[in-house]
Amino acid sequence: MIRHIVCWKLTASDAATKAEHAAEITRLFGELPALIPEIRTLQVGENVLFPEVNWDVVLIADFDDADALERYSVHPDHQRVGKYVGQVREDRVAVDFAF
């Protein structure tokens, strides 16, 4: 199994816009397990503490193997969601590990 963890810093500086963008990211990624069979589990969460230092949104998803993660990465529905995230994020960090 591969666990895929991604965190995003959002570009919005005001709390209301940042919350709106984080909620939309959460909603969009939440739709993907029904659309992409490679996803075994998927959680998305918005940061609730220490916004001045913490990243804004996190995604944790599990896949059978690296090939499944790659199929997910290029899936059109993932690409659609990624396009939105790319418009509202300042930075991204990711870690993929076997477990």
Residue 67 inside a domain? The answer is: yes
* Three-class DSSP category at 59: strand
pLDDT in tens, 74-95: 999 999 999 999 999 999 999 9
pTM of the entire structure?
Answer: 0.95
pLDDT in tens, 38-70: 999 999 999 999 999 999 999 999 999 999 999
Residue 81 inside a domain? The answer is: yes
Q: How many domains does the chain have?
A: 1
pLDDT score at 15: 93
pLDDT score at 67: 98
Residue 78 inside a domain? The answer is: yes
Task: Assign 73 a pLDDT band (cuts: 50, 70, 90).
Answer: very high
Positive or negative torsion for Cα 88, 94, 98, 99: negative
